[in-house]
Structure 1
Amino acid sequence: MTTPTWDPAQYLRHADHRARPFADLLARVPDLPSARPRIADLGCGPGNVTALLADRWPTAHITGHDNSAEMLDRAHVEHAGDNLDFTYADVRTWLPSEPHDLIISNATLQWVPGHADRFPDWVNGLRPGGTLAFQVPGNFDAPSHRLMRTLAARHGVEDVLRHEDAVLTPAAYLSRLADLGCTVDAWETTYIHVLQGEDPVLDWVKGTGLRPILTALADDPETRDTFVRDYRDALREAYPATPHGTAFPFRRVFVVARRGA
């Protein structure tokens, strides 16, 4: 799969909608075992939701990790502070260098093939009573993704995209983490985001799921523009605009796993 080039400004165009699942995840995270918690945010992006961790735990030392220089630059400028820093890391290989009270991730692990195989290392990196928490999109069978894959196959770039097996079911995550001795809360929610503006679903995926295609076709602007135009037309039919906006159903999977004391 192509490592996408990220555009923080495009990603943040739907920041309120994107942050809502993180707030719902954060609401289920229990009290942390330390008075001055150590927290890691894996795949912090531009840092806008990492900052919510500092609001919840003002005495914590929080580090946002990401592999996008563009995202990290935005995070440093807008959110870095005395107890909040950002650094480069590849989630595929990241290991906690010290015991953590919370390892959290927002809409990142779907980009990491085999991410559930990292759970033992991350759980072992928690203090007793510490928590691993994450949410991932569960909408890979939605029209937005199915249409993208169909058009990608037509243009010979289907190999850069993720498929339905990019994430597990809530029950599968529960099983994997319960086997590691964690107490697990796993669930799913389908949000109905009401998006405004012209071609808002296209605008949404330009910040996330479409990034591998845009990256792969960066040196072929004619093919890229044709792809985007055809995809736009298909999305207009799949997600019709109404006087109230464009309804965009979006399923997400949530997991909060607490290590035994």
Structure 2
Amino acid sequence: MTVTWDPQRYVQFGDFRNRPFFDLTARVLADRPASVVDLGCGPGNLTGTLAARWPQARVLGLDSSPEMISAATAAEHPQNLSFSVADVVDWQPAADTDVVVTNAVLQWVPEHRELLPAWLAALRPGAWFAMQVPGNFGAASHVLMREVAESPVWRDRLDGVLRHEDAVGEPADYLEIFLAAGMRADAWETTYQQVLQGPHPVLDWVRGTGLRPVLNALSTDAAAAFEAEYSARLDLAYPQRDFGTVFPFRRIFVVGRKI
């Protein structure tokens, strides 16, 4: 199923969504790469930081969403940065690729664990591959979403729409893939304790990401009814405090350099 993205809603929680990208790319120690790819670049705001970090490099941002690429190309960006619509499933690194960054994208690609070995094998010695995926599919935010979707009211309309707890692997799974492909690799996980503001902040958060398939599959009225039921469960799982709502978010990182 094709997911329609809203670039403005996606960047609503910019500070929280951006931090894993910078934690990931800080471990990419490429000196003067000539060709850099941001695979699944979204609205391109973070891709721009790669162009600024490596001004001598050709930086290419790729995303399957025309809405995201439209937002990226409309924004002001340096001359060494370009964007294009492309599907991750059909992509292969060019022979001269020095750095590949893919941030919070591969969880949307069910076969990504089968694609990774071919991508890594295509890289030349010295090239870097850095990936980050959310590791929170067992968190209440996702479990409750699936429970509502699987309830009698919604089951027929949402069957097969949502990803399940096997959408991503564990750090050790990815580390093994990288090492088997001839990479010197580092894998780790971080759980960010995010403090969100507003009356229903977790619902607002997932509206920009995990809830998109549901919103795409339902009519406007049905989506509102689903959100009301789901939001009531979220409010119990993530209670609001005087200082805000704590929303733990686990993420999985892997960075490797081809030997």
Indicate the TM-score class for this superposition, using the shorter chain for normalisation.
over 0.9
Count of residues in Structure 1 that have an aligned counterpart in Structure 2: 255
Q: Assess if the C-alpha contact under 8 Å between 2:97 and 2:123 holds in 1.
A: yes
Q: Tell me by how many angstroms 1:37 deviates.
A: 1.9
Q: Tell me by how many angstroms 1:238 deviates.
A: 0.6
Matched residue SS, 2:36 = strand
Matched residue SS, 1:127 = coil
Q: Which residue of 1 aligns with 2:40?
A: 43
- Find out whether 1:204 has 2:201 as its counterpart: no
Q: Which residue of 1 aligns with 2:29?
A: 30
Cα distance in 2 for partners of 1:242, 1:233 equals 16
Question: Partner amino acid for 1:253?
Answer: I
Q: Tell me by how many angstroms 1:124 deviates.
A: 3.0
Report matched runs for 1:2-151 at 5 Å: 2-32=1-31, 35-151=32-148
Matched residue SS, 2:187 = strand
Q: Assess if the C-alpha contact under 8 Å between 1:133 and 1:256 holds in 2.
A: yes
Alpha carbons of structure 1 residues 102 and 36: separation in structure 2 relative to 1, 3 Å: closer
Q: Which residue of 1 aligns with 2:172?
A: 171
Q: Assess if the C-alpha contact under 8 Å between 2:51 and 2:81 holds in 1.
A: yes
Alpha carbons of structure 1 residues 79 and 132: separation in structure 2 relative to 1, 3 Å: farther
Matched residue SS, 2:5 = coil
Question: Over the residues paired in the alignment, what is the CA RMSD in angstroms?
Answer: 1.2
Gaps of 5+ in 1: none
- Find out whether 1:162 has 2:163 as its counterpart: yes
Cα distance in 1 for partners of 2:107, 2:248 equals 18
Q: Please give the per-residue CA displacement for 1:126-165, whole angstroms capped at 9, x wherever unaligned.
A: 2311111010000000000000001111202041111111
Cα distance in 1 for partners of 2:76, 2:130 equals 21
Question: Partner amino acid for 1:208?
Answer: T
Question: Partner amino acid for 1:210?
Answer: L
Q: Which residue of 2 aligns with 1:254?
A: 253
Cα distance in 2 for partners of 1:168, 1:79 equals 36
Cα distance in 1 for partners of 2:246, 2:69 equals 31
Q: Tell me by how many angstroms 1:195 deviates.
A: 0.6
Alpha carbons of structure 1 residues 250 and 158: separation in structure 2 relative to 1, 3 Å: farther
Q: Assess if the C-alpha contact under 8 Å between 1:240 and 1:246 holds in 2.
A: yes
Q: Assess if the C-alpha contact under 8 Å between 1:122 and 1:132 holds in 2.
A: no
Matched residue SS, 2:184 = strand
Matched residue SS, 1:160 = coil
Question: Partner amino acid for 1:209?
Answer: G
Q: Which residue of 2 aligns with 1:183?
A: 184
Matched residue SS, 2:90 = coil
Cα distance in 1 for partners of 2:34, 2:178 equals 22
Q: Please give the per-residue CA displacement for 1:21-61, whole angstroms capped at 9, x wherever unaligned.
A: 000001111224xx352011111000111111112211111
Q: Assess if the C-alpha contact under 8 Å between 2:9 and 2:208 holds in 1.
A: yes
Percent identity, please. Answer: 51
- Find out whether 1:239 has 2:238 as its counterpart: yes
Q: Which residue of 2 aligns with 1:226?
A: 225
Q: Tell me by how many angstroms 1:79 deviates.
A: 4.4
Alpha carbons of structure 1 residues 47 and 79: separation in structure 2 relative to 1, 3 Å: farther
Q: Assess if the C-alpha contact under 8 Å between 2:202 and 2:247 holds in 1.
A: yes
Q: Tell me by how many angstroms 1:120 deviates.
A: 2.6
- Find out whether 1:213 has 2:210 as its counterpart: no
Q: Tell me by how many angstroms 1:225 deviates.
A: 1.1
Q: Tell me by how many angstroms 1:66 deviates.
A: 0.3
Q: Please give the per-residue CA displacement for 1:5-30, whole angstroms capped at 9, x wherever unaligned.
A: 10001111111110000000011112
Cα distance in 1 for partners of 2:133, 2:20 equals 9
Q: Which runs of 4+ in 1 moved over 4 A?
A: none
Q: Assess if the C-alpha contact under 8 Å between 2:30 and 2:99 holds in 1.
A: no
Matched residue SS, 1:161 = coil
